[in-house]
Amino acid sequence: MKQIKTALISVYYKDHLDVIVKALDKLNIEIYSTGGTLKFIEDCGVNAIPVENLTGYPSILGGRVKTLHPKIFGGILARRANENDLFQLQEYQIPEIDLVIVDLYPFEETVASGASESEIIEKIDIGGISLIRAAAKNFNDVLIVASRNQYHDLTNLLETKKGETSIEDRKYFAAQAFNVSSHYDSAIFGYFSQEFPAPAFKQSVQGSKQLRYGENPHQKGVFYGNFSALFEQLHGKEISYNNLLDIDAAVSLIHEFTEEPTVAILKHNNACGLASRSSLAQAWRDALAGDPVSAYGGVVIANRPIDKETAEEMNKIFFEVVIAPSYTADALPVLTSKKNRIILIQKQNELPQYQYRTLLNGALVQERDSSVQAPSDMKPATNKVPTQAELDDLAFANKLVKHSKSNAIVLAKNHQLIASGVGQTSRIDALKHAIEKAATFGFDLKGAVMASDAFFPFADSVETAHKAGITAVVQPGGSINDKDSVEYCNKNGVAMVFTGVRHFKH
């Protein structure tokens, strides 16, 4: 056990610091401080010693240099069990510093605010990060508090142990401190690497939640991130690893549909139902009709507030998760009647620009596929051009196929997902699977449209689609055999358009 006798406090954020300062004063712990923090402490009615009195130097270079001095770092880094260290402290009149409370300039917040480069650079902390590393390194003797998020733990420690700390306490706070410093440095690296990319991958995500298990019960799983920044959970059981995968897919998909009330139903990251209608209740009914079998146990997402009528229709089947911007007061009792059903409010947030995936002994990084093809982006490749209604459906289907596992085919009609074939090893198999599903659920494909996530290597797909009743096709184009598909469509009165944009999803 070590007794705290002296403390150094230099922080940017002062909220809740008063409680700690008064607790330290009550324990007769001597406090050293700087600038605005010193004034704050004195305003709390607590005495503190300016670090200038210790170092003999004022704050210089516009505040860039305040604590970078041997009399500060010597007091932090001195090993109390090392006779030579203690002799040098005495020789140079350096006091031991047992507690360091310091935080860092708001670098990430300044970048996010759109500030100028000079303002951003001034928020790269030098003294603070150095104090954190020094105190954390010497956890055998020093307690480091590197974030206001740790004030509660420190307050409890001071109250329960009366200013004493154990090696376990100090090592725990040191680990938290290195988390703070490494995250901060990663953010600075990320800022500079935008202009000068380095051959390195560094990402730091704060916050974590232990999951019941991973993809399967025998696998451990953890979610790293701030889920509550994106969603408010109103009801239901703990969210699982697989729930999170489906929620991510659902949010990305519904992001494409804003103009009309739309409901999507997902299973294993793929849409098994989706429809856009004038009312949300009708959108739900038509989304469910696309595949009422796969919808069981799925994830439902809506782009409009869910009302009582929609909730009552939804409540007729079992599903695990429902997501919406909000819920009417009379809809919630209906949805919460199933005690385990997860009910989420999706908050307004931009989707991340980059996506990451670990594999082999490294990681893949790519930009999010944010490319969207409007009807005006679709170039006719055949003699027959699509009608306006077909163009609207082609754009609708193309959004859906973009979010389906490759190889993927989507069949749509009147802004409704009729059927899809996803995750197949050949494009023709994906199409045959979609046609079979449409027939299973009683859909007439006459006048429906087809979207493909990539080009057709042969003409067999457009031939099969035409014979099933498909009248218009959208695909990226780019195959050396495009002419064969175009020739078949011209001979049989099928309209086909090229987008020039592939939407593989693996």
- Catalytic sites, residue numbers: 137, 268
Asked if 506 and 407 touch (Cβ cutoff 8 Å), the reply is no
CA distances from 116 to 185, 196, 280 (A): 19, 18, 44
Asked if 9 and 37 touch (Cβ cutoff 8 Å), the reply is yes
φ/ψ of residue 145, rounded to 5: -120, 110
> HSE on the CB side for 97, CA within 13 Å?
30
Asked if 401 and 271 touch (Cβ cutoff 8 Å), the reply is no
d(C-alpha 253, C-alpha 301), whole Å: 9
- For 106, the token pair is 């708001």
d(C-alpha 422, C-alpha 2), whole Å: 62
For 9, which DSSP code? E
Cα-Cα-Cα-Cα torsion 485, 487, 491, 493, nearest 10 degrees, comes to: 50
Q: How many CB atoms lie within 10 A of CB 292?
A: 14
H, E, C per residue of 176-221: HHHHHHHHHHHHHHHHHHCCCCCCCCCCCCCCEEECCCCCCCCCCC
Four-residue CA torsion sign, 281, 287, 293, 296: negative
128, containing H or E segment: helix 127-137
- For 476, the token pair is 């990226």
Q: How many CB atoms lie within 10 A of CB 102?
A: 26
- Look up tokens 């324990």; give the residue: 27
d(C-alpha 44, C-alpha 21), whole Å: 8
d(C-alpha 18, C-alpha 40), whole Å: 8
Asked if 51 and 73 touch (Cβ cutoff 8 Å), the reply is no
Helix (H, G, I), strand (E, B) or coil at 402: helix
H, E, C per residue of 420-461: EECCCCCHHHHHHHHHHHHHHCCCCCCCCEEEECCCCCCCHH
H, E, C per residue of 253-285: HHCCCCCCCEEEEEECCEEEEEEECCCHHHHHH
Asked if 420 and 437 touch (Cβ cutoff 8 Å), the reply is yes
For 327, which DSSP code? B
Amino acid in position 131? L
